């Protein structure tokens, strides 16, 4: 990045510059390179010496035979991001969808944080989805700090890159092509019309394809503020375009990190320190059979001609580990958590109104404690990375949520320049926040460097599950008082392990109108690594707040759904709840004898209300028949992918509610593979109904917001069915299981 | 040891340790990476292929066992001319995959189910398809199986 911009003091001030253009022949075609860059961002920074320039590059490639390629600066991990972004670009470009394909952007600095910064630069306010937090570099954090007031909601891909970047890039490309045609035909620009990748001059009846003008168009300077279409004229956005990445995912051709083959490569299996903080102090190979052993300190790696041989050899060798805290257990941790809750010395008050403590001195106050466990990500594809290090150059093949940081961390580990590291980002077999970390990448780079041949490092499922950055375990205490059928006061205290979510997201907020409230957190350092897990702090907070809301409703003798509406002034939330009552047949379940539970959480600028409908069978087995979601995420870019994201978030949350719990014994993670960290399958997956509120609001996030309401909707339904209030997850702790 | 078997319709011989699971023989010796590794203990279904027509989890299946057998992997599901099977077509029609990692195993399990039971009920599907999908594509997988069953019966 250029260092033209000097840190400036004073209030955030935004200056825009024009696009830079670079045009060139790429792969035999003409590339229209639209670099929305550099946008100047001057703002208050007191401690930064490096530049604060933010760059957005959105690339459109157009070939003379009229084929359009949209280059996607986000990783595909199942959310259909490429298709959604391409839809937004193609819409504004007036492209023929049949000619559109997508390509993964290279992991280069040109794409660094561009999308994230962009939302702030254009001043339309934006928020960041959890999986992206680790992508925030220092410069961006400075910006986030400075503009905290503007941070209101959204996901990076659609909300930022798409809404601010792709749409403008498409519109600018259309303008450039039209201008090129106007020049060529010697007619005024406004006499031309672009439609389905063609330019028409209606007066003379002339028409030609976009491709005809690709080369000429590249010589025009793109307009930074091209005219954008009105949503009512959309033909591509808002339609369920089939995802472009799906065909290769049903034939086995899609290449994930696990599938990379590099000529001459070896395979590596890894054993990481079973106790956090331990180091391998001695390694013995009794059979002398291990082909090659690399001691990384906190991990031991065996390299062989096949993964099978490597993992067999790894099993045979004897490793002595030393260090860490082998006395750590989940029970001890839980006691520690509860003790933290009592310590008010370091408490941070997050939100406060009226005088909650005075009100809550009443003997009628309800005081309850909730707890949720550590959770693993357990992406379907275990962690892996392929690396080749030769002559001071490093090549990496991996499916990563944050390829730039992966590159930088590998460079640092090897002591080489960032420019000497090339990263090939391939499909991710699930991410959920886990694939934003770089531990696997660093390991592979170090091993490849040590052995001097390319190597594919594969973690076993056991390694994957016991070496995660877990969703933090949290205990929480909520107090509340009901007066005249309404919540008169509430108080929430909870322990807080930082999983990387900015406070500006307000995950802690009690999303209801209450006059007297106090919300305080008690920070502590988790002794095991924690990180962002689909919807991050909203998973815990959603469970606490929405369970508590149900308890308050029952105290008030009110219907839980009506009680929620009575405490919501936000019209969008009210509309979601009202629609939900209708769609889920609230109070009139479809299944005979079923009980219903409701929850609603507003996160990442999407409001999701859900109703769970269940029956309890013998031995407290829960049969979840239906789960209805009503979603207001603003404009929906691709209704089919949007629905899939809700399906996915719901199942992800359900697995956690039913089975999810990571525990520790002797300082080691107990759960190792799916039997002891079980998952919902077809048999116990509910029928899902998903409804979207029609909205003209800018698009919000969708990868995560479907997750937080699931647990409380389910446990509230269990309460309705049995009178048993579940304040601790997973359900097995309360003696319930899945059918 | 030398292992000879029919792989996706073609006679194949491969040299592999006799106890090496078929999964790794396919992925590393034969470079057919469509079959995935998910758990290594037959718990997730990502590694499902057909052995003599039966859906089989290959992460625990020693290579020696397949000597003389007929094996079909995800790469052999579409016709040699590239025409997708009814299951694959239904999978695309209903946009079943998300990240896609579990989907080879899902497709192979569904193919085997429909070979055996051309008109499965929801319960039949529940019992036959025990594969894990971390992306939670179950709803669409179920719909796609019913659609594929219909297409196969009619086609
Ligand atoms: S990898 Fe074989 S069943 Fe999971
Ligand atoms: S589609 Fe991602 S695990 Fe099934």
Percentage of chain B exceeding pLDDT 70 = 100
CATH homologous superfamily for B86-154?
[2Fe-2S]-binding domain (1.10.150.120)
Among A458, A490, A512, the domain-final residue is A458
Whether residue A681 and residue B131 make contact (CB cut-off 8 A), yes or no, is yes
SS3 A204: coil
Element (H, E) at A600: strand A595-603
- Are A448 and A501 part of one and the same domain? no
Residue at A7 is within a domain: no
Long-range pairs for A295-302 at CB < 8 Å and ≥24 separation?
A: A296/A443, A296/A446, A296/A447, A298/A272, A298/A273, A299/A270, A299/A271, A299/A272, A299/A273, A299/A443, A300/A270, A300/A271, A301/A268, A301/A269, A301/A270, A301/A271, A301/A443, A301/A447, A301/A457, A302/A268, A302/A269, A302/A270
The label of the residue with tokens 């490849």 reads: A448
Compute CA distances B111 → A685, B74, B103, B138, whole Å: 21, 10, 12, 16
Q: What is the rounded distance in angstroms from the CA atom of residue A400 to the CA atom of residue A421? A: 15
**Ligand 2 centroid – CA A242 distance (Å):** 17
Q: Where are the domains of chain B?
A: 2-76, 86-154
Q: What's the whole-model pTM score?
A: 0.90
Give contacts of B36 with chain A, Cβ < 8 Å: 256, 258, 380-381, 429
Q: Is pLDDT above 80 for A554?
A: yes
* Confidence tier at A617 by pLDDT (50, 70, 90): very high
Residue at A338 is within a domain: no
**Interface confidence: ipTM more than 0.90:** yes
- Are A128 and A265 part of one and the same domain? no
Residue at A165 is within a domain: yes
Residue at A594 is within a domain: yes
- Are A423 and A520 part of one and the same domain? no
Helices (H), A415-532: 439-451, 461-466
- A94 with A235: CB under 8 angstroms? no
CATH homologous superfamily for B2-76?
Beta-grasp domain (3.10.20.30)
- Identify the DSSP state of A327: T
Please spell the DSSP secondary structure of A98-147, one letter per residue.
Answer: GGEEEEEPPSSGGGTTHHHHHHHHTTS-----GGGGGG--HHHHHHHHHT
- Are A429 and A361 part of one and the same domain? no
Q: Is pLDDT above 90 for A401?
A: no
CATH code (residue A432): 3.30.365.10
The label of the residue with tokens 């308890």 reads: A551
The tokens describing B106, both together, are 């899902």
- The model's pLDDT over A42-82, given as tens digits with 9 standing for 90+, comes to 222 222 222 322 222 346 778 788 888 887 777 888 888 88
Among A251, A271, A286, the domain-final residue is A251
Name the residue among B28, B36, B98 with its Cβ closest to that of A267: B28
The residue segments making up the domain with residue A230 are 16-251
User: Is the beta carbon of B135 within 6 A of some atom in ligand 2?
Assistant: yes
Give contacts of B24 with chain A, Cβ < 8 Å: 306-308
CA distance B68 to chain A (A): 22
Q: What is the rounded distance in angstroms from the CA atom of residue A671 to the CA atom of residue A363? A: 43
Please spell the DSSP secondary structure of A16-31, one letter per residue.
Answer: --PPEEEEEEETTEEE
* Confidence tier at A291 by pLDDT (50, 70, 90): confident
Distance, CA of A504 to chain centre: 16
Number of domains in chain A: 3
Closest ligand relative to A243 C-alpha? 2
SS3 A597: strand
Compute CA distances A387 → A298, A337, A359, B98, whole Å: 19, 40, 61, 26
Among A458, A485, A513, the domain-final residue is A458
Among residues A700, A461, A490, A144, which one has the least CA distance to residue B43?
A461
- The model's pLDDT over A222-247, given as tens digits with 9 standing for 90+, comes to 676 789 999 999 999 999 999 999 99
Smallest CA–CA distance from A252 into chain B, residue: B34
- Are A554 and A420 part of one and the same domain? no
Smallest CA–CA distance from B16 into chain A, residue: A306
A722 burial type by CB count under 10 A (0-12 exposed, 13-18 middle, 19+ buried) = middle
B interface mutation test: which of A252, A649, A689 has the most B CBs within 10 A? Answer: A252
Residue at A335 is within a domain: no
Percentage of chain B exceeding pLDDT 90 = 99
Closest ligand relative to B39 C-alpha? 1
Q: Is pLDDT above 70 for A736?
A: yes
User: Is the beta carbon of A660 within 6 A of some atom in ligand 2?
Assistant: no
- Are A169 and A282 part of one and the same domain? no
- Are A593 and A496 part of one and the same domain? yes
**β-strand A366-372 against A474-483: which pairing, if any?**
antiparallel
Residues having CB closer than 6 A to ligand 1 are B 37-40, 42-47, 57, 59
- Are A299 and A236 part of one and the same domain? no
Whether residue B136 and residue A382 make contact (CB cut-off 8 A), yes or no, is no
B interface mutation test: which of A305, A308, A690 has the most B CBs within 10 A? Answer: A308
Q: Is pLDDT above 90 for A119?
A: no
């Amino acid at each position: 990045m250029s260092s033209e911009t000097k840190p400036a003091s004073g209030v955030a001030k935004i200056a825009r510059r024009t696009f830079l253009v670079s045009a060139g022949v790429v792969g035999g075609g003409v590339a229209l390179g639209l670099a929305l860059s550099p946008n100047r961002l001057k703002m208050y920074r007191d401690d930064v010496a490096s530049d604060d320039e933010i760059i957005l590059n959105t690339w459109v490639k157009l070939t003379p035979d009229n084929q359009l390629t949209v280059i996607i600066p986000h990783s595909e991990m199942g959310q259909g991001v490429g298709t959604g972004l391409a839809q937004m670009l193609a819409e504004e470009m007036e492209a023929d969808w049949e000619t559109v394909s997508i390509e993964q952007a290279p992991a280069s600095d040109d794409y660094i944080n561009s999308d994230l910064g962009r939302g702030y630069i254009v001043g339309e306010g934006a928020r960041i989805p959890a999986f992206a937090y680790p992508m925030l570099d220092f410069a961006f954090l400075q910006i986030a700090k400075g503009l905290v007031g503007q941070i209101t909601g959204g996901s990076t891909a659609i909300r930022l890159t798409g809404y601010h970047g792709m749409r403008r890039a498409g519109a600018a490309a259309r303008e450039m092509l039209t201008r090129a045609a106007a020049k060529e035909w010697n007619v005024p620009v406004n006499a031309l019309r672009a439609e389905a990748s063609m330019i028409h001059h209606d007066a003379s009846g002339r028409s030609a394809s976009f491709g005809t003008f690709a080369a000429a168009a590249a010589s025009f300077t793109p307009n930074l503020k091209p005219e954008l279409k009105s949503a009512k004229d959309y033909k591509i956005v808002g339609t369920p375009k089939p995802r472009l990445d799906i065909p290769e995912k049903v034939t086995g051709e899609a290449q994930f990190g696990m599938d990379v083959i590099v000529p001459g490569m070896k395979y590596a299996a890894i054993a990481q320190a079973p106790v956090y903080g331990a180091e391998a102090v001695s390694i013995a190979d009794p059979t002398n059979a291990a082909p090659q052993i690399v001691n990384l300190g906190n991990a031991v790696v065996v390299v062989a001609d096949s993964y099978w041989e490597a993992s067999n050899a790894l099993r045979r060798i004897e490793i002595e580990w030393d260090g860490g805290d082998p006395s750590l257990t989940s029970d001890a941790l839980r006691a520690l958590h509860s003790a933290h809750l009592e310590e008010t010395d370091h408490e941070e008050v997050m939100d406060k109104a009226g005088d909650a403590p005075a009100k809550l001195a009443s003997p009628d106050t309800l005081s309850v404690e909730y707890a949720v466990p550590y959770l693993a990500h357990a992406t379907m594809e275990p962690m892996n990375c392929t690396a080749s290090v030769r002559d001071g150059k490093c090549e990496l093949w991996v499916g990563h949520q944050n390829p730039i940081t992966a590159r930088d961390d590998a460079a640092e580990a090897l002591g080489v320049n960032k420019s000497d590291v090339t990263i090939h980002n391939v499909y991710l077999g699930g991410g959920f926040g886990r694939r934003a970390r770089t531990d696997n990448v660093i390991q592979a780079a170090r091993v490849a460097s040590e052995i001097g041949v390319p190597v594919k490092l594969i973690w076993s499922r056991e390694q994957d599950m016991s070496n995660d950055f877990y969703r933090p375990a949290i205990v929480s205490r909520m107090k509340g008082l009901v007066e005249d059928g309404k919540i008169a006061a509430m108080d929430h205290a909870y322990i807080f392990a930082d999983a990387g979510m900015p406070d500006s997201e307000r995950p802690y907020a009690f999303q209801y109108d209450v006059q007297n409230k106090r919300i305080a957190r008690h920070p502590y350092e988790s002794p095991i690594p924690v990180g962002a897990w689909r919807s991050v702090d909203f998973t815990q907070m959603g469970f606490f707040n929405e369970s508590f809301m149900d308890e308050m409703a029952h105290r008030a003798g009110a219907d839980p759904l009506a009680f929620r509406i009575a405490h919501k002034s936000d019209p969008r939330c009210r509309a979601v709840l009202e629609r939900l009552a209708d769609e889920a047949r609230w109070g009139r379940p479809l299944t005979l004898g079923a009980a219903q539970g409701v929850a609603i959480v507003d996160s990442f600028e999407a409001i999701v209300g859900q109703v769970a409908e269940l029956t309890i069978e013998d031995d407290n087995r829960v049969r979840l028949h239906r789960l209805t979601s009503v979603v207001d995420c603003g404009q929906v870019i691709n209704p089919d992918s949007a629905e899939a994201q809700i399906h996915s978030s719901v199942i992800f949350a359900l697995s956690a509610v039913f089975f999810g719990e990571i525990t520790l014994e002797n300082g080691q993670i107990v759960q190792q593979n799916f039997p002891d960290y079980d998952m919902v399958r077809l048999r116990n997956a509910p029928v899902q109904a998903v409804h979207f509120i029609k909205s003209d609001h800018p698009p919000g996030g969708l990868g995560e917001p479907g997750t937080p309401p699931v647990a409380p909707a389910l446990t509230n339904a269990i309460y309705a069915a049995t009178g048993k209030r579940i304040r601790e997850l997973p359900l097995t702790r309360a003696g319930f299981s899945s059918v | 040891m030398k292992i000879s078997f029919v792989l996706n319709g073609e006679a194949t011989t491969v040299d592999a340790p006799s106890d090496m699971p078929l999964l790794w023989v396919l992925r590393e010796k034969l470079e057919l990476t469509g079959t995935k590794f998910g758990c290594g203990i037959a718990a997730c279904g990502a590694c499902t292929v057909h052995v003599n027509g039966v859906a089989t989890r290959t992460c625990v299946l020693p290579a020696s066992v397949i000597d003389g057998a007929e094996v079909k992997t995800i790469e052999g599901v579409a016709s040699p001319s590239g025409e997708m099977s009814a299951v694959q077509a239904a999978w695309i029609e209903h946009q079943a995959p998300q990240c896609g990692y579990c989907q080879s195993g899902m497709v192979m399990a569904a193919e085997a189910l429909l070979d055996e039971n051309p008109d499965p009920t929801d319960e039949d599907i529940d019992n036959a398809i025990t594969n894990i999908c971390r992306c939670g594509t179950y709803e669409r997988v179920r719909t796609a199986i019913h659609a594929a069953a219909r297409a196969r019966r009619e086609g």
